[in-house]
């Protein structure tokens, strides 16, 4: 646990110049398929049912993701402040653990998004979408 916390703190300090407020503070998504599907709905020949699912998904999920991203930024800001103020090691370790938990939740949300599209798209559509994603 202590090694994890120290590693997280060291990583935060090493990346501090790049951690200005804003999207750069969070790690880039491992995958981001929804924008590819939105942009290429016609190319993928989405059915009306798939288009309805896409509309519903894009009307609800970005807000949930953004809320988690805000929570991650807030957790990082709290850790950064604790480091700057010289807070006790135990407090910094707890804050570092919180950063890890929120960012893990964010990665798993994005993973669940991929699982969703794997279930909505046909196997061929999914393969085509991945090819479009990789070509960008």
Task: Tell me the domains of the chain and their CATH numbers.
Answer: 2-18+33-135 (1.20.120.1490)
Kindly tell me the burial class for residue 124, based on how many C-beta atoms sit within 10 Å of its own C-beta (0-12, 13-18, 19 or more): exposed
Note the pLDDT of residue 27: 75
Lookup: tokens for 126:
């999914």
Q: Name which of 47, 10, 32 is nearest 121 in CA terms.
A: 47
What is the rounded CA–CA span in Å between residue 124 and residue 4?
Answer: 41
Residues 96-112 have a mean pLDDT of 95
Residues 86-110 have a mean pLDDT of 96
Residue 14 has pLDDT above 90, yes or no: no
Kindly tell me the burial class for residue 20, based on how many C-beta atoms sit within 10 Å of its own C-beta (0-12, 13-18, 19 or more): exposed
Note the pLDDT of residue 47: 98
Residues 79-87 have a mean pLDDT of 98
Q: Which of 30-34, 71-75, 94-98 has the lowest mean pLDDT?
A: 30-34
Q: How confident is the model at residue 48 (pLDDT cuts 50, 70, 90)?
A: very high
Note the pLDDT of residue 107: 93
Residues 93-97 have a mean pLDDT of 98
Residues 74-95 have a mean pLDDT of 98
């Amino acid at each position: 646990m202590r090694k994890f916390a120290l590693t997280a703190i060291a990583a935060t300090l090493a990346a501090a110049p790049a951690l200005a407020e804003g999207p750069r503070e969070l790690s880039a998504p491992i995958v981001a398929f929804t924008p590819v599907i939105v942009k290429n709905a016609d190319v993928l020949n989405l059915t009306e049912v798939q288009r309805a699912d896409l509309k519903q998904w894009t009307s609800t999920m970005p807000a949930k993701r953004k809320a988690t991203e805000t929570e991650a930024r807030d957790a990082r800001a709290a850790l950064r402040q604790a480091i700057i103020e010289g807070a006790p090691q135990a407090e910094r370790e707890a804050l570092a653990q919180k950063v890890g938990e929120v960012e893990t939740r964010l990665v798993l949300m994005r993973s669940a998004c991929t699982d969703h599209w794997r279930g909505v798209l046909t196997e061929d559509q999914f393969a085509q979408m991945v090819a479009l994603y990789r070509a960008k």
